[in-house]
Amino acid sequence: MLPFAPAQLPEGLRDPHVLEAMDRVPRAEFVPQHLLGDAQRDVALPIGHGQTISQPLVVAWMTAALHVGPGDRVLEIGTGSGYQTAVLAALGAEIWTIEVVPALARAARERLEKLGLADRVHFRVGDGRHGWPGKRNFHGVLCAAAPATLPPALLDALADGGRLVIPIGTDDAQVLRSYQRVGDAILEETLLPVRFVPLISAEPSA
């Protein structure tokens, strides 16, 4: 069961395939044991290491805004718990996902393997703002943490027609934005105000 009403999404983003994928992915598998009672609430939750699992409504919004489907190549920056990765995998996309915190990357891989969703997922530990070394022409790039300014490498990773969905800003001044490459042009759209953890280059100190 979805933890939000589909009507909360703009009409143009009520993609039935996205909603079905989210309905298939049990969020309880991705939250810490002591927060299982909150798994079906439409709120962000802490997952350790200063990181969070995103609010389900925001995951739906970002996934729908990406406009990807079966066989599409997606670069994900910030694997985190693996919840967003699992939703993209349930859509049938092939995903290259980067996480800066090794412990989170290992746990996310284990969860996706347990759910049978890891076959089309490539995992990497590293700094996501530089993209995936040697890989470009992605149909979609999704960033699950907020840089203060747009990393150029993420735009460069897009194929023609591809979209980048990313929160940008600091603290309470973040907005979710979409960028689409159309030939040599980049089309930009502001989607909604959000609050994400910052995009970092190294694992935070304990």
How far is residue 98 from each of residues 101, 111, 169, measured CA to CA in Å? 9, 16, 20
> Are the C-beta atoms of 79 and 101 separated by less than 8 Å?
no
Query: Active-site residue 54, yes or no?
Result: yes
Which entry of 54, 81, 178, 205 is annotated as an active-site residue?
54
Write out the catalytic residue numbers.
54
